[in-house]
Structure 1
Amino acid sequence: MVVFAQFTFDTDRLVLNKDQQVVPLRPKVGQLLHFLLARPHQVVTREALLDALWQHGEFRDTALTQSMAELRQALGDDAQQPKFIRTIPQQGYQWVCPLVQPQRNRHRALFLALLSAIILAGGVVFGHISQPVSKPVTEQVILPALTILPLTNDTGVAANAWWGYALNSALTTRLQSDYQLIPAAQLIKGQNSKQIELILSRQQQRYVLTVSTAQQQRKIVVEQLDMGFEEVAEQVIAALMLLPDGQSSAVMQSDLIASQDYYRGLQALDEQGNKLARAYFEAALIQHPQHLAAQLELARIAWQQGELGQARRFFADMDLTAAEPAIQVRYHLYLAEFNKALGHYEQAQLAVQQGLNLAQRHQLLEQLATAYQLQADLSWLSQQWEAYSKALNSADVLIGSHTLGYRDAQRAFYLANPPAAGPEAKRLLDLSRSQQVLQRTVRIYRQSPQRNLLARTLFAYGQNYLVPVTESEPSLLEALEIASDLGDDYLRKQILTYLGFYYIQLHQGEKALAYLVQADPDPQFVPQYELHWLLRGMAIMDGALNRDGAPGLTTAIKTFEELLGWEKVSTITAAHANLMLGWSLIKQGELARAEEYVMRAQGVYQQLGLVDTLSYARYTRMYIHLQRGEARRALALLPVPEQASHLELLYGAAAAWLVQDHVLSEQLSEQLAIRPNSEALLNQLTGIRAAPKPSFDLASVMLDKPYSVYCQSSWAL
């Protein structure tokens, strides 16, 4: 027997007690505790633990991580501020709690006293044995036979099987006085025994326990796989009505009905969208007004449907004091999503950090991966590139570690991280891998009723730059059709906005404008609203730039000026609007004003370290100098040739030729020639060099305009 803090641990039976109450432990977790207790204050390496307790198996490392998390949870320990088990980085673990030696003599005396009391109470006196009292024979009660089948683990994580063993044990303890429990291994074919089947799966980052007999089936949503086996066992018993009437309280039955509605709501989120899901969550609250999980989903649906006031009330009215850690984490992440949609990035960062800390403390790995991805998205939007890189890599490492259901987690990762709408190269995504994963995901969801997830997958697939137009366009249009059918207004507006950007890249401004008009954004959602009006101006500008004298150019300029005058416009969107204004004014021949706007954009891009968009501003200024006949000033803006963009090399080679620096012109041409999709640009240089003498007028006519290659759409789509 080992004693520490308020615990005692029987090393023979591997039984842990806290204040004389048994703390359930899986056998392997008990062995882990025994191993650590035998080596107090020693640093025990992971390799030593694996060699001692997990000699074989594909998921040895994952099993150790899971078992250590279970042991800490059983002890109420915090990995960040440990009282029992300290993690030694790059080394292993150390048991730090002092051990107390049991007082053996005192225990022996208590035992003898107790034995004497039993002997006396039983009528045993020194030198005399009382006669046994005969008892009437009672009729033996024949209990119905029941078999609890081993849990089927469909979560994709082998380590989750431990929870099934613990639940089976809790059900056995609860039902053993009312049933003759027959283990599955001893069940004889044809034997009349009621069987309970248990299947654990995942949905919307929750665990769903499907419990069924031959006559009925129920779904129980389990927010997290913690030590609350007895509570889940009671829900199983109530759901399948395994005990006589009256043993399941009216409150339990009401909770059960609410749980069924909550599950149907989660299912509807995947299959039918927000409208039907909302009805189920509201029904759950009628049965159980304090159902926090249903309140959270209603808060999220409310803001996505544009009901911001109601969403704020839902978030404000939730009392998380006694909520499960998984609910608390989800609350913070949903609140972060809400603030992100409003453009309140600082509040969103604060909320996501709170959720991330809780997820780490309670080893909620799926929610931890989600928190990292949301943190990455917020860092991207606020141009914090180092933080973005760190967060996205953390999410990727978690998924690659196989501690989650690998294929499900991989799908979720690429659904949550489509390529950014724009050319910036800081997006740390493997686009080839994303394309492959999303192709498989589309096939999976086409064969399932999960239409909402199919729409989101098609949307993400259509945003991948490696997907050819013949596939990306129909994917985006199908995603829009499904989102519209499901009444998912927020997703529908996201797709409409992206379609505007997509068709601008194809130089189909009128088509882009048609989709953008349908989006009709709410100005309270600042990021979506400002992006909408930026794209709307670009769609109008696109048509005007490709047709001489088009009246739409004036409308485009007015749209950009109004956007710049909006008090809520962000710094980065204002920079983009300044660049667009510069391009529009170049088309009108107002070079001085154009340069003024482009220089404003360039300053912001330089400050934020936006390399790609910085080159847009730089080559636009080079073009303005060439238009003015200022070739040397154009060359002064040229970066190192190896780091220059296509147009910077083109304008630089032309400027060098015009000042008769033929060596530099050839060097820049050679650098351009090794770039993909450069043939059309090299032909322009050939035409300029074929003139009898250097001509600025010829260069102005032959060279591609800076706006003609936005997103490389003129020559490298």
Structure 2
Amino acid sequence: MACYQFAAFTFDADTGQLLHQTPTGQTETYLRHKVSLLLTYLLTHPDQVIHKDVLLDALWDHSEYRENSLTQSIRELRKALGDSAQNPQFIRTFPQRGYQWICPISEPDHQDAPKIAKAANVEKAEPQEAPPATQTRRFSKPVMFSGLLAVLILIAGFWLMQSPATVKSPGMHHKTGLVVFPMLNDTGKAEFDWVQLGLADMLSVQLNQSNTLTVIPPALAKAWLLDAELSWPALPAQIRTLLKQRGYEAALFASVRLHNKQQVLTFQVIYADGRTQQGSMTYPQLASAMHSVSHQLKRLLSPDDTHPLPQKSPAIAVQTLAQGRSLLQTQGAQAARKYFEAAHILEPDNLWTQIQLAGTEVLLGQWQQAAQRLQALPEAQGRHEPALYAAQRYWLGELSYRRGEPDATALTQAAVQAAEQSQDPQLLIQAYQLQAQLAWNEMDWEGHQRLTGQLIAILGKGQALRHDADQQFYLGRPASVGLERSPSNDLAANQVRLFKALNFYRQLGDQPRQAATLLAIAQNDQIDPPIRESSLSDAIAMYRQLGQPYELALALIYQGFYLMQSHQGGMAEDYFAEARALAEQLGARRLLLDSEFYLAFAAMDQGLDLQWLGKHPQQAQHLARADQAFTELLKKKDISPLLQANIALFQGWIAADQHNMQRALQHLDRADSLANTLNLPLTQGYIRYSKMRIHLSQHDYTAVTELAKFPMVTRLEAVYAARAYFELGHPEEATRVLTHFRQSLPKQWQSEDEQRLQDYRRTIQGQAITLPPEPKAHLVYCESDWL
């Protein structure tokens, strides 16, 4: 084992382990395999200026992306070492030439091997183990298309969700926990890229039919790699560590190559206890032989398995289905659909192909076709195959949810029950995610947190957060209209993992999850605005390319909402109008209501007096248009109480700006009643300070102080209450209110609040001051987060 020491680092070239000794202890990182090879090459050629072509020839296969890969690997290596290109301590860049290792190093020390192995907590394999033959390979060039959130939901449906299998002794009868990693395309031909995910996914489905195996499919295996901050291909020692952490017994690592016009599957089964089984199988067409491949692997892994050999399907149909499943995870539903359609034509009685096709139709907005296809599945055969029935139940629930139908909750619960009865963990993931979305929409924070906790336990936080990140901002989904947010959301902590996830998916060429992560970054208000804006723009562009109208409408509404924070109602209205057109086209009831609400919101923004912010004075025609739109919206029979509460609040703002204070208070009283019934504390805070501002304008300061007796959750409540106490001749109380607010909600404290506090203190000292009018209540739409 070659171990290098430099600065405060110790690097194990065999395992890719990088140890960093710090004043507070020792940190451990496993470098991506290509980055590990790069560091080893630099360490073995210290002080030499190594031309980039030399590095490319030594470490990379020939492809058009290899220079980008070198640049990315240098960037990753510098990040792992805490190095800077501007002030390098380890790697110096010579523009247009190459790189030089400049840090003094110790020669390889083989005696350090036991210490490194102990630090990594990795059991060594038996002597006969050899690393996978394709270990230094990487994924073939990805096809650069777009993905989106709904594709993530669909892919998540192929993930497994089940308590990790307990590792028992080989002699006992139990289910072996097997993790199937993506296959490597070792053919040298881009047309075989589909084997990486498509063939691996089909193999995991076949293996999962065994009575003695619990199989983790490639999509979930990739999620685990992300959570462990590992890249693929990973080293055997890293795989064993991952297996032990997850409580699984074995992992399947395979590659596909060509030999004498035959397709060769070379595989290794890597066990957590150090054992290794390896071999190869040769067939003219691996896709058509997948039933035989899976049967042989089952016998290898579970000799007692008596499950019969699966029925063989037409070769071209199987390969076409596998290609579709692969494209679903790289280019999205639009690219995958034509393959599923072809597979259905080739094998019309294959019900799983029909389920796949229906799923893509849901994602592509072809809802009537999807509903007809799902409802036409034979009930008897579905009941005979519990997993098939559960998949059908899920897509019916998902379709009902997207349509905004009242039976979405019942259908989702039926999907959960069917998934539990099928004992198919991958279907449980789908159903639980949909159930968590419904819990969020109903502001059932406890239920949402419980379901997210289940996802974290299985997927790892890096992936479960992807699901939770969709809802991180309280108006991130149009279904979450209003001001409330989950108290358990930790946006600051999540942003770190979001960027790690985005980098991971870019390395893997996983476009659907890239798009989902970009939208989640845009929704996280702890991230710098320029990054959020570019992420949102990229996400919308991806959704347009994919042609998935529902997800596009969601992103458009969020883009419009983002613009509303800077009072760009005219620009926002264009986005909301496009979202409404898409909702009408789809027949998405709830989405249509939400888009109409936002259109009225944008009209209100264009009409309110915003001179305080250096913008336009009141525009009466826009205010009238907004008020009429809100009134028409309230006439809709399926409008939710939550939406009604927000409309009442906004109509209160409109009436106040029109100086009709009596009508404004009537709207606000109605909003308060609804918010109290729905238990919306933040919304009630907005309502209270809106009433306070009206009472201030009427010089009814006592009414303001009465409202100040409630717990303050917004900045303007404190500002208005302090002003009322000052006008009543109690500057000490005004000072106390602002001081308490600064201590309890420091993130909302602004410079003008400090000026107010100093003014009130000067009054206490006997100085005469003149205070300007307080800002109007409608100037900040989301005060608690958009400062």
2-structure distance, mates of 1:584, 1:337 = 37
1:70 matched to which residue of 2?
175
Matched, 1:542 2:614: no
2-structure distance, mates of 1:556, 1:663 = 42
2:704 counterpart SS class: helix
1:292 matched to which residue of 2?
351
User: How is 1:554-565 mapped onto 2 (pairs within 5 angstroms)?
Assistant: 554-565=624-635
Deviation at 1:361, TM superposition (A): 4.8
Deviation at 1:589, TM superposition (A): 0.9
Matched, 1:496 2:550: no
1:664 matched to which residue of 2?
733
One-letter identity of the residue aligned with 1:707 = H
1:275 matched to which residue of 2?
334
Deviation at 1:230, TM superposition (A): 7.1
* Cα distance, 1:647–1:233 mapped onto 2, change above 3 Å: same
2:617 counterpart SS class: coil
TM-score, reference length from structure 2: 0.59
Deviation at 1:260, TM superposition (A): 2.1
1:183 matched to which residue of 2?
none
One-letter identity of the residue aligned with 2:344 = L
Matched, 1:517 2:517: no
* Cα distance, 1:337–1:74 mapped onto 2, change above 3 Å: closer
* Cα distance, 1:62–1:267 mapped onto 2, change above 3 Å: closer
Matched, 1:453 2:513: yes
Structure 1 unaligned spans of 5+ = 1-55, 78-149, 168-189, 202-210, 223-228, 238-247, 401-405
Identity percentage over the alignment? 25
1:110 matched to which residue of 2?
none
1:707 matched to which residue of 2?
778
CA RMSD of aligned residues (A): 4.3
One-letter identity of the residue aligned with 1:609 = N
2-structure distance, mates of 1:200, 1:433 = 36
2:696 counterpart SS class: helix
Deviation at 1:635, TM superposition (A): 1.5
Q: Which moved more, 1:548-557 or 1:582-591?
A: 548-557
One-letter identity of the residue aligned with 1:271 = T
Contact 2:281–2:293 under 8 Å retained in 1: no
1:711 counterpart SS class: coil
Contact 2:419–2:425 under 8 Å retained in 1: yes
Deviation at 1:542, TM superposition (A): 1.8
1-structure distance, mates of 2:240, 2:292 = 22
2:434 matched to which residue of 1?
374
1:426 matched to which residue of 2?
486
2:752 matched to which residue of 1?
680
Matched, 1:306 2:377: no
1-structure distance, mates of 2:399, 2:560 = 24
1:607 matched to which residue of 2?
677
* Cα distance, 1:358–1:634 mapped onto 2, change above 3 Å: same
2:632 counterpart SS class: helix
User: How is 1:222-237 mapped onto 2 (pairs within 5 angstroms)?
Assistant: 232-233=294-295
2-structure distance, mates of 1:273, 1:299 = 14
One-letter identity of the residue aligned with 1:626 = L
Contact 1:411–1:441 under 8 Å retained in 2: no
2-structure distance, mates of 1:606, 1:618 = 12
2-structure distance, mates of 1:710, 1:322 = 53
1:285 counterpart SS class: helix
Deviation at 1:439, TM superposition (A): 0.8
CA offset digits 1:479-510 (Å, max 9, x no partner): 11122122232222221111011111232222
1-structure distance, mates of 2:538, 2:316 = 36
* Cα distance, 1:330–1:153 mapped onto 2, change above 3 Å: farther
TM-score, reference length from structure 1: 0.64
One-letter identity of the residue aligned with 2:776 = K
Deviation at 1:668, TM superposition (A): 0.5
1:702 counterpart SS class: coil
One-letter identity of the residue aligned with 1:652 = A
* Cα distance, 1:386–1:450 mapped onto 2, change above 3 Å: closer
Deviation at 1:478, TM superposition (A): 0.8
CA offset digits 1:58-89 (Å, max 9, x no partner): 9xx94417999739999989xxxxxxxxxxxx
Count of matched residue pairs? 523
1-structure distance, mates of 2:241, 2:517 = 21
Query: Match for 1:651 among 698, 720, 739?
Result: 720
Q: Which moved more, 1:587-596 or 1:409-418?
A: 409-418
1-structure distance, mates of 2:280, 2:551 = 36
Deviation at 1:452, TM superposition (A): 2.9
Contact 1:258–1:283 under 8 Å retained in 2: yes
Matched, 1:590 2:650: no
Deviation at 1:318, TM superposition (A): 1.6
1:526 matched to which residue of 2?
589
2-structure distance, mates of 1:661, 1:418 = 41
Deviation at 1:473, TM superposition (A): 0.3
1-structure distance, mates of 2:718, 2:643 = 27
1-structure distance, mates of 2:289, 2:738 = 64
* Cα distance, 1:443–1:387 mapped onto 2, change above 3 Å: closer
Structure 2 unaligned spans of 5+ = 1-121, 125-162, 178-207, 213-235, 271-278, 300-308, 476-481, 611-615
1:226 matched to which residue of 2?
none
1:197 counterpart SS class: strand
Contact 1:197–1:213 under 8 Å retained in 2: yes
* Cα distance, 1:162–1:286 mapped onto 2, change above 3 Å: same
CA offset digits 1:321-366 (Å, max 9, x no partner): 4454443333322222212112235x32223333333444555444
* Cα distance, 1:644–1:276 mapped onto 2, change above 3 Å: closer
One-letter identity of the residue aligned with 2:399 = F
Q: Which moved more, 1:500-509 or 1:263-272?
A: 263-272
* Cα distance, 1:392–1:453 mapped onto 2, change above 3 Å: closer
Q: Which moved more, 1:583-592 or 1:449-458?
A: 449-458
Matched, 1:479 2:550: no
